Structure 1
Amino acid sequence: MSEKTYTPLPPASPVHQEDPRAKITNAEQAMYDEVLKHFSDENYELPGAEKGLLTDDEKFWLSRECLLRYLRASKWKTAAAIQRLEATLTWRRDFGLYDKVNAPHVEPEAVTGKEILFGYDVVGRPAFYMIPSRQNTTEATRQIEFAVWMLERGVDVMEPGVETLSILINFADKAKNPSLSTARTVLNILQDHYPERLGNAIVINVPFLVNAFFKIIMPFVDPVTREKVKFNPDVVKDGIFAPEMLMSQWWGGNQNFEYVHEKYWPVLVKTCDERHNRWKDSWKKLGGIVGVSEWEYKRLEKNEEIESSEEDKTSEKVEVPEHKELIVPLVPLITKESLLVTDSTAEPIPEMKKDDTKPSVPLIPLLAKEDTPAPTSNTDVKGGAAHPSAVVATPAGAAVDSTADAGASSGCGAGGDGGGGD
């Protein structure tokens, strides 16, 4: 058994290298454009709302992927999609998602660990565990608010290209039967206001009463959603989860997770707040308007890091060995010592006679090959410009800097979720 884990697993590595929703048909694009135009109108006001103008939070929520989710859920009928979007915008305000329903408000519901975000499935969907036997309150309203708050946090921890959740419900351990009316309310909220957000609903250890409940309501559930509900699967053998991303207790994974509220809760809240705020800041950088892609704003920070790295490499100063000025006089002075022969076995240098017209030794000694200065080359310098410190020797031995006033220049290189429908 591995060491105990008390905090949420860090976000999974991105599973999508390209935007899975980037390509839509021309007809779908036209429908999307119609919905986008409706909500992008600067004079748009939410019907029936006291404060009709959209807030930044609402514009942020109305991403490209959000509009496409509602269009798919509405069978690509633009009027129906607009109506559903406006119904959800109204519901989100009335429910209090932007003010009342926050971490301190729902925390009393969280202390027993009856709902947990922990790990990701094999396609990067956050895993949302629900354990009804840990029910610790009787107030249905706040129980529902807590479930919705956790759904929202599940959205916060979705990586780029991921739009759906895996919900794992375990009815093990005897306890008071959950309120069926509360369960139905949560299901309705999920269908009406979180379309295309359910990847899988995995249910194990179903008691008789709950099984009867499912048999009653399933015929009324959307067929696409109904196909995603699985009873008593082996999530590892069926390839839904990798063991290292799954709780060992009840589910057969490798993670020895134990819920300790004081350890888990602060980390969850901080992680989700930081990711939400970071992505909202990126959204603002991209214009802060309706229709900005989740794929783009979630990847902006990474793209900026890549661009910055490329710029650093491009603008990095090229290290060139220091160029030492080497002036070679055309006629070096010859000293007596320069003509000395150190090899005692060599023949002595004959003395010049008065009538000799030429000395027996050349006046200008030859430079050995290794003493010959190598020509200055700039073939290893990017850009191909002449080395700024090149020096030319004049016959008189005076050095002239050929590029004394020249400047150096450098170039810089230039420098966006997927799931099934409900």
Structure 2
Amino acid sequence: MSTIGPIPEPVAGCKPTAPPVLTEDQQTKYGQLLDQVKSWESLPTSKADTDNKPISDDERLWLTRECLLRYLRATKWSLPQAIQRLRATLVWRREFGTGTFTSEYISPENEKGKQVQLGFDKEGRPCLYLLPQNQNTKPSQRQVEHLVYMLERTLDIHPPGQEGLALLIDFRNTGAGGTPPMSISKQVLDILQSHYPERLGRALLTHLPWYVSAFLKLIGPFIDPVTKSKIKYNEPLVDHVPASQLMAASGGEVDFKYDHSIYWPALDKLAAERRQQRRERWETAGKHIGESEVYLWGGEESSIGAPKENIEVSNEDKSGEKINDESKTPMIGNDTASMNGETEIVDGVANLDIKQSEPVKITA
């Protein structure tokens, strides 16, 4: 197989494992968090800012049911901590500018293809390749912005029911200058752990030279043990990613050649289309905070705002008899019941609930 652009869908059958249904206590805490979030009318635009600005539609759309659940799981179901961390992330997203980076602004960082979203692993996680041998710029704040931009684009295209992603980091032919400065590494780790909880499904590191191993030992104290358990070293990538969606250079069957003039606009177009589809679904359903990501990403689950009578009709069997009332209303959060049947939602992505350190500021 040959391709020069991103692959839009995972291999048939590559799906996340269905998670357990929420307990009564967990559903209660989710409801309390949802009520709290709905009460937020404005937030600061930065940590140092005392002036608040209203919550935007983009932020309301971001505050999905699964988003709230990720923060609850990351804090081991501590409601106060989940509230604090969720607010902190919204303020960080405003200050960092996650929604403002254009493909044109980030483009110079990726001209040599040092980060590539391509294919999906065996659980439907979109794969983001980090290829430091293709590094083409000096350390700067835009390198951090580039990584965040690629994380956001990768998450844009995950399939319904999937929440995580897979990082494939290939250190082949990487010189000693390919490892980032400690300041940038700590800033990136803080961003991942504080503002992308439970998003890392696995990290597959291959072709590690001695100086990279030494570098990993240096940053090891900043990495949570749960996250470390998701990092695999020098394992055959075909054990984790279908060969039909894995680069040939990594042991797969995809003959991929990076051409920035073709790949970059193709990725931007695919991600923009997916975002527009989600917004249209969200607006059609009534712009709910706490909307289902399965519904928003086009899966077989109704909006949380679906009329009750529609749910009741769906719970009649062909003979017209009512099904057990326990199945009438979908459970909040990761329940697999829905009006369209069983929906699978990811379980087992890494819990990045780690150190609450301050982001490391660097000079661009």
Give the TM-score normalised by structure 2: 0.78
Identity among equivalent pairs (%): 39
Whether the aligned pair in 1 keeps the contact of 2:295 and 2:302 (CA below 8 Å) is no
Whether the aligned pair in 2 keeps the contact of 1:19 and 1:295 (CA below 8 Å) is no
With over 3 angstroms needed to count, the CA separation of the structure-2 counterparts of 1:301 and 1:234, relative to structure 1, is closer
Q: How does 1:7-406 map to 2 (within 5 A)?
A: 7-12=5-10, 20=18, 23-41=21-39, 44-46=41-43, 50-99=51-100, 101-175=101-175, 176-181=177-182, 182-236=184-238, 239-249=239-249, 251-299=250-298
> What is the distance in 1 between the residues matched to 2:298 and 2:198?
21
Letter in 2 for 1:265: W
Q: Any idea what the Cα deviations from partners look like across 1:53-105, whole Å, max 9, x if unmatched? A: 21111111110000000111111001001110111101100111122x12111
- Unaligned runs of at least 5 residues, structure 2: 304-338, 352-364
> What is the distance in 1 between the residues matched to 2:98 and 2:117?
19
> What is the distance in 2 between the residues matched to 1:119 and 1:125?
8
Letter in 1 for 2:168: L
With over 3 angstroms needed to count, the CA separation of the structure-2 counterparts of 1:295 and 1:40, relative to structure 1, is same
Q: Any idea what the Cα deviations from partners look like across 1:132-172, whole Å, max 9, x if unmatched? A: 11111114111110100000001101111100010000111
Letter in 2 for 1:418: V
Structure 1 residue 281, shift from structure 2 partner: 1.1
> What is the distance in 1 between the residues matched to 2:31 and 2:263?
42
> What is the distance in 2 between the residues matched to 1:227 and 1:51?
39
With over 3 angstroms needed to count, the CA separation of the structure-2 counterparts of 1:18 and 1:233, relative to structure 1, is closer
Q: Any idea what the Cα deviations from partners look like across 1:379-400, whole Å, max 9, x if unmatched? A: xxxxxxxxxxxxxxxxxxxxxx
Which 10-residue stretch deviates more, 154-163 or 277-286?
Answer: 277-286
> What is the distance in 2 between the residues matched to 1:254 and 1:120?
13
Q: CA RMSD in A?
A: 2.4
With over 3 angstroms needed to count, the CA separation of the structure-2 counterparts of 1:16 and 1:54, relative to structure 1, is farther
Give the structure 2 partner of residue 392 of structure 1.
none
Structure 1 residue 130, shift from structure 2 partner: 0.4
With over 3 angstroms needed to count, the CA separation of the structure-2 counterparts of 1:168 and 1:158, relative to structure 1, is same
With over 3 angstroms needed to count, the CA separation of the structure-2 counterparts of 1:243 and 1:148, relative to structure 1, is same
Whether the aligned pair in 2 keeps the contact of 1:202 and 1:230 (CA below 8 Å) is yes
Structure 1 residue 301, shift from structure 2 partner: 8.7
Q: Please say which structure displays the higher CA radius of gyration.
A: 1
Bigger RCO of structures 1 and 2 (CA < 8 A, at least 6 apart) = 2
Structure 1 residue 241, shift from structure 2 partner: 1.1
Whether the aligned pair in 2 keeps the contact of 1:282 and 1:300 (CA below 8 Å) is no
> What is the distance in 1 between the residues matched to 2:244 and 2:202?
19
Whether the aligned pair in 2 keeps the contact of 1:16 and 1:161 (CA below 8 Å) is no
Q: 1:421 aligns with which of 330, 334, 350?
A: 350
With over 3 angstroms needed to count, the CA separation of the structure-2 counterparts of 1:143 and 1:271, relative to structure 1, is same
Whether the aligned pair in 1 keeps the contact of 2:133 and 2:173 (CA below 8 Å) is yes
Secondary structure at the aligned position of 2:248 is classed as coil
> What is the distance in 2 between the residues matched to 1:258 and 1:281?
34
Q: Which runs of 4+ in 1 moved over 3 A?
A: 13-22, 300-304, 414-417
Secondary structure at the aligned position of 1:168 is classed as strand
Structure 1 residue 303, shift from structure 2 partner: 7.5
Whether the aligned pair in 1 keeps the contact of 2:230 and 2:350 (CA below 8 Å) is no
Whether the aligned pair in 1 keeps the contact of 2:14 and 2:121 (CA below 8 Å) is no
Letter in 2 for 1:277: Q
Secondary structure at the aligned position of 2:178 is classed as coil
With over 3 angstroms needed to count, the CA separation of the structure-2 counterparts of 1:17 and 1:223, relative to structure 1, is closer
> What is the distance in 1 between the residues matched to 2:140 and 2:18?
38
- Unaligned runs of at least 5 residues, structure 1: 305-413
Structure 1 residue 9, shift from structure 2 partner: 1.3
> What is the distance in 1 between the residues matched to 2:108 and 2:288?
36
With over 3 angstroms needed to count, the CA separation of the structure-2 counterparts of 1:15 and 1:293, relative to structure 1, is farther
With over 3 angstroms needed to count, the CA separation of the structure-2 counterparts of 1:30 and 1:19, relative to structure 1, is farther
Give the structure 2 partner of residue 367 of structure 1.
none
With over 3 angstroms needed to count, the CA separation of the structure-2 counterparts of 1:252 and 1:212, relative to structure 1, is same
With over 3 angstroms needed to count, the CA separation of the structure-2 counterparts of 1:26 and 1:301, relative to structure 1, is closer
Whether the aligned pair in 1 keeps the contact of 2:126 and 2:157 (CA below 8 Å) is yes
User: Going by fraction, where is helix more abundant, 1 or 2?
Assistant: 2
Letter in 2 for 1:286: A
Structure 1 residue 184, shift from structure 2 partner: 2.7
Secondary structure at the aligned position of 1:162 is classed as coil
Give the structure 2 partner of residue 402 of structure 1.
none
With over 3 angstroms needed to count, the CA separation of the structure-2 counterparts of 1:19 and 1:45, relative to structure 1, is farther
